[in-house]
Structure formats: C-alpha cells, structure tokens
Structure 1
Amino acid sequence: MSIKMLPLEILETVFQNADSQDIPKFRFVCNTFNSVIKQNYVYLPRQAYLTKIFMKSGEVFVSHLKSGNASGCEQKLFDFEFKHWREIAIVDLEIADFTNSECSKEALQTIINQLYKTKQHELRKVTFSNINLDENHTEEILELIQIAFHQCENVLIQNCQLPIIIDDNLIASSSFDHFRWVTSNAKNQLPSDKILRKLQHDMRKALNQRSFLAEMTSVDVGSACNFIEEWLRLPIAYFFNLSFHDCDDMWKTRFLNECEKRKLTHNYMEFQSKTHADAHVKVSFSQDARTCCIWPILDVPARTTGQTVCYARYFRDF
C-alpha cells in the first residue's frame, strides 16, 4: 500500500515523528500531504525561529530570524500575516523599545493572542528590553511575564519600567534556570531572595546536569549563604553563576559575618565542596562596580590555609 493511501490519522502520526526540516518538503509531495499538514501544522514539528517585536518611530515592527541564519527581515506588526506563525516554532522572543503610544496596547494584545492561537509551546527564552509603559498596559505586560516565567528556561529583563507586581505565586510557578534583572523596576521590589531560593530548590531536585544563572539586586546575605551551603553538600556539582548588584563594603562585611556565624569556612573566598574533592565555590567582590559574583570551580580543590597559589590548577595546566 502506498503511504498516500494511509488514513489521515496515521499520516498525522507519521508527520508528528518527522524532522521539522522535512515537514515543508512533504507539502509538495501531493495534495493529501499538503492538506493534512496545513490543518495540523501547530501540532507538528516546526522549524525554530528567533522573533523580535520592537517599536520604532511610534510604529511596531516584527522581525524573524531562522535559527542558524545570520540575517532576517522585518515588517510592520499590523501588516504581518500571523498565519505564518502556525508554520514556525518561536524559541526565542524579544520584546524591545516599547513606550506609551496609540498602538502599544493593541500591539501587546495581538502578540499575546497570536502566541496562544498558534500554540507557541517551544518558547525557551524571552527578553524584555527597554520597555517603559504605564498602568494602562498592566494586564498585557503581566500576561507576557507569566508566559515567560511559566514556560521559559531563560528570562532576561533589562532597562525596563514594568507596571506590574512580581508576587510570590509568579515566582513559585516559574520554570526558568537562567534569570537576569538588570537596571529594571516593577511596582514592587523584586523578590530576589525568593528567586534565589527557587533556583536553590530546583538545583537540589534536579535529576540531570543543568546550569543555573541569576543576575539581580538586593539579595540578602543569608540567602546567598544558603545557596552556597546547599551546593557544597550536593551529590552533583552543578554549574551556576550568580551576580548580585548593590553589594557595597557593608554588604560584604555582613556576608563575612554570616559565614563566620554559620561556620562556613573558606580560604581566600574559596569554599570547598563537602562531596567533591576537586570542586569549590569562589566568591569575588568588585568594589567599583559594587557587585558580588559567585560561581563554582569544578576541577580544582579550594586553597588551604597559608596557600597563596593554586598549585593544583598550575600543574593541571602545565
């Protein structure tokens, strides 16, 4: 029997297990294939795209970049035929340069509606950049933030003034491993401690090798110590990178006092893992930038008392 003679339900199952690069080619095989694919495109493997929606000179534009390509094209959002979103999987979405305008609210509503309508369930990264909107946009911004938090592994918010409240429920139901909040504000102070605690919980429960990244402000020294203590006793040495802003000399002093209080011993800000002989956590402060950076070294033990040079790293490299 020819594959063209198979029942439509079987054909749909065949296409669901095909490579996303082959789906568009199958449409040219015959009218039956084309019809089945067109009707079920949102349920089939789709080619990955990076999508940017941005405002320029008071108008909203959309551009699409195929994953792996160096250039894309842009056009006005309200002229774009969103039926094309049925045929692509948006894996990376950036919303940028939005300010209050006659069309800003309608544009955000259109984006949200089309994300749901075309079933963009493969979204992995969302970036909000240079967004400054008033409370008239609260509902739309909150919906987009919820989509990003609940669905994405990577969320970046930079240079934004958001008319929303980042509450505990939003953090508790989030899925991200990488979170960056850079020079941005919401209606409440970002609950940085809860975000760090969420990443700590995910790291403890993770079953596979994952990385965790966070860049935030106003983190409590107790939360930072909790995260370090958790990592030091984990059976799997996960990679992470934490960057905390607004960490002045007073914050550093409180951090060191908290370490002493907890008997969290270190040499030259290096904390030895309790489960991996060749792994430790490094803490570094930048006085000028007022930042604290914390990350693990996975192949070299921490230095010992009186040791000013990391000989293990020296002999490994040479």
Structure 2
Amino acid sequence: MSIHHLPCEMLRSVFQNVNSHDIPHLRHVCRMFNNVIKTNYCFLPRVAYLVKIFSENGQIMISNMKSGDINGCTQNLFEFDFNHWREIGIVEMEFEDIQNCDDQDVKKAFTMIIEEMIKTRQSQLRKMAFTNVSVSDKVAIEIEELFGLALQQCENLTVENSILPISISKKSVNASKFDHFRWISSIGSSPVPSTEILKKFQSDMKSAVNRRSFLAEMDSVTVEAACDFLEEWLRLPIASFFNLSFHNCDDTWKTRFLAECEHRELTHNYMEFQSRTHNNAHVKVSFSQDASTCCIWPVLDVPARTTGQTVCYSRYFRDF
C-alpha cells in the first residue's frame, strides 16, 4: 500500500513525530502532504519563534524571529498577518518600551494577541517578559488574562521597570509552572506575594528529583521566608541549584535575618551555612550595603588534586 493511501489521521500521527524544521519541507513533497499539514499545523511540531511587542513613535509594533536569530520581520501589529502563527511555536514573548501609547490601541493590541494565541493553539510558551511597560487600569482585564496565560505555561517570568494592573494571587502562584521569577522596580495592583513564591520554590525543590534550578530576583522578601527556604535546602538529600537576589535588604533586615538564623540554630562561618547532608556543600549569603541587596546561592567544595597530594579546594557555584 502506498503512503498516499493512508488516512489523513494516520498521516497526521506520523507527522507529529517529525522534527519541526522538516515540517515545512514536507509540504513540498506532494499536494496530499501539503493539505494534511496545512489543516493540522496546530497539532504538529512547530519551529520555535521569539515574538517581541514594542512601541515606536506611538505605534504598536511586532517583531517575529526564529529562536536564536538576531534579525526578524518587524511591522505594525494591526497590519500583521496572524495566520503565520499557525505555522510557528512561540517559545518567548517579550513586551518592551510600551509607554505613552493610546489606551484603546494598547487594549486592542493585547486583545488581538490573546485571541490569536488561543486560536493558533500556542502551547510552547516558556518565557514572558515585560520591560519598561506602563499601562493604565483600562487594560487591566487584558493584562490579567495574558499574565494568567503566562502563569499556566511559562518557566520564566520577568517584570522590570513596569507598571502593570495585575494582582498575583496565592492560588495562581501555587498552580504556576515558573522556576525563574524576576520582579524588579515594578508596580502591580497589589504587592507581589514574594513569600508565596519562595514557598512554591521550596515545595518544588523538595519534590524535584531531576535537580531543577530555581532563580528569583525580587524587590523585597520577609526574613522568615528567606530562612524557610535556606533551612529546607540545608536538610535536603538531593538539593537543587538556586540563585536568589533580594533588594531593599538594609542593615535592619540583615540584623533580623541573623537573629532568625540564630533562633533556628542555623550556624554559619563567615555567612556560609553548612549542609546537613553533604559535607562539602554550603549556602553562601552575601550582603551588598551599597545596593541594599542580599544574594543567596549554593557552593560545593571539591578536591582539585589527587589523593596523596596537598589538597587544594576549588569552589563551584553549581548544583551537585
């Protein structure tokens, strides 16, 4: 039996196991292949793309580029042919420099993006970033929906120097997939639940058998939440790599942090906390007085010379 006699459903199943970069080439094999792929693009592997939305001279622009490429196609968002999204998989979506734009245009733009993402079944989204984005409460519904979509899919969420009418609830944090979270110099409808985010990382880290990495950078966090995360990592038999940066940690915060560590009997040597399950593993805590920043990350000491020689230790800031 010729492959051309196979049902369309079976051909679709075959194409679902093909490399995403080969799908466009298969469309040129024959008319039948082209028709099957064209009608089932949303269900097939799609080439990874980065989409960037930004403003230029008061106009909302869109730039599409293959993941890893430097240059992409840029045009006015309202003139963009969204049928192209049927053939690509959006893995990163960035919103940059959207300020002083007409509220109705911004509202319309975000509505179009949400509708087209749903229509073209974009399920590969892994990163969403807002940088220098300032929108009014008139766009609150659209921003909330877009951010809710990001919480469901993205592993990396970044909000920097932005004003967004969103409120991140405890429930949405617990159900989210992100393990990289940055919220810097930004304002939302309510304060970012940094304590809940650290609790989520702590829970995910406890159940992570594949040593996932966790990165967070936030404007503020409670002393208790930071100590909870630190204490959990120190007693885990399989610990993940992490890098935490907290801003607005002044001398008062540092004093309270050290007092809380002493209360919990978390002893340290020059701000290095010994793991309770790994002899050569530590957690390093560093304070920058100029920037009022607290950074926390793991350190692993390993012998750099063979047995019998003078032991020289190298320090690795990595997982183990």
Task: Provide the TM-score with structure 2 as the length reference.
Answer: 0.93
Corresponding residue for residue 232 of structure 1: 234
Q: Mapping of 1:133-212 within 5 angstroms?
A: 133-212=135-214
1:304 alignment partner in structure 2: none
Counterparts in 2 of 1:224 and 1:187: CA distance versus 1, 3 Å = same
Answer yes or no: is the 8 Å Cα contact 1:141–1:164 preserved in 2.
Answer: yes
Contact conserved, 1:53 with 1:94, CA < 8 A, in 2? Answer: yes
2:106 to 78, 82, 104: 104
Once the 2 structures are TM-superposed, how far is the Cα of residue 207 of structure 1 from its aligned partner?
2.2
Q: C-alpha deviations, 1:41-89, integer Å up to 9, x for none? A: 0100000011101111111111111112222120111111101000000
The CA RMSD over aligned residues, in Å, is 1.4
Q: Please, which runs of 5 or more residues in structure 1 have no aligned partner?
A: 302-309
1:300: how far off?
4.6
2:87 paired residue number: 87
Report the counterpart of residue 25 of structure 1 in structure 2: 25
Distance 1:32 1:108 in 2: 37
Counterparts of 2:198 and 2:8, CA distance in 1 = 49
Matches of 2:137 and 2:59 in 1, distance apart? Answer: 20
Counterpart CA distance in 2 for 1:174 and 1:272 is 31
The count of corresponding residues between Structure 1 and Structure 2 is 306
- Partner of residue 122 from structure 1, selected from 121, 124, 136: 124
- Deviation digits for residues 257-309 of structure 1 (CA, Å, limit 9, x no counterpart): 000001000100001111112211000000000000000013459xxxxxxxx
- The residue identity in structure 2 corresponding to 1:313 is S
- Residue 313 (structure 2) aligns with: 312
Any idea what the Cα deviations from partners look like across 1:224-251, whole Å, max 9, x if unmatched?
Answer: 1110110011111210000000000010
Shift of 1:111: 0.5
Distance 1:224 1:300 in 2: 27
C-alpha change, 1:289 and 1:300, in structure 2 (3 Å) is farther
Secondary structure (helix, strand or coil) at the match of 1:160 reads: coil
Contact 1:237–1:276 (Cα < 8 Å) also in 2 = no
Give, in whole Å, the separation in 1 of the partners of 2:186 and 2:247. Answer: 12
Give me the identity figure in percent. 57
Deviation at 1:311, TM superposition (A): 5.5
> How much has 1:31 moved relative to structure 2?
0.6
Residue 313 of structure 1: how far off its partner (Å): 2.6
Structure 2 distance, partners of 1:248, 1:72, is 43
Change (3 A) 1:96 1:70: closer
Q: Work out the CA distance in 2 between the residues paired with 1:271 and 1:300.
A: 16
Q: Which moved more, 1:216-225 or 1:282-291?
A: 216-225
Distance 1:222 1:63 in 2: 43
Distance 1:70 1:107 in 2: 24
Partner of 1:305: none
Residue identity in the other structure for 1:272:
Q
- Separation of aligned partners in 2, 1:161 and 1:24: 40
Query: In the alignment, is the contact (CA less than 8 A) between 1:12 and 1:36 conserved in 2?
Result: yes
Residue equivalent to 2:308: none
Amino acid corresponding to residue 314 of structure 2 in structure 1: R
Alpha-carbon distance, 1:208 to partner: 1.0
Give 5+ residue unaligned stretches, structure 2: 304-310, 316-320
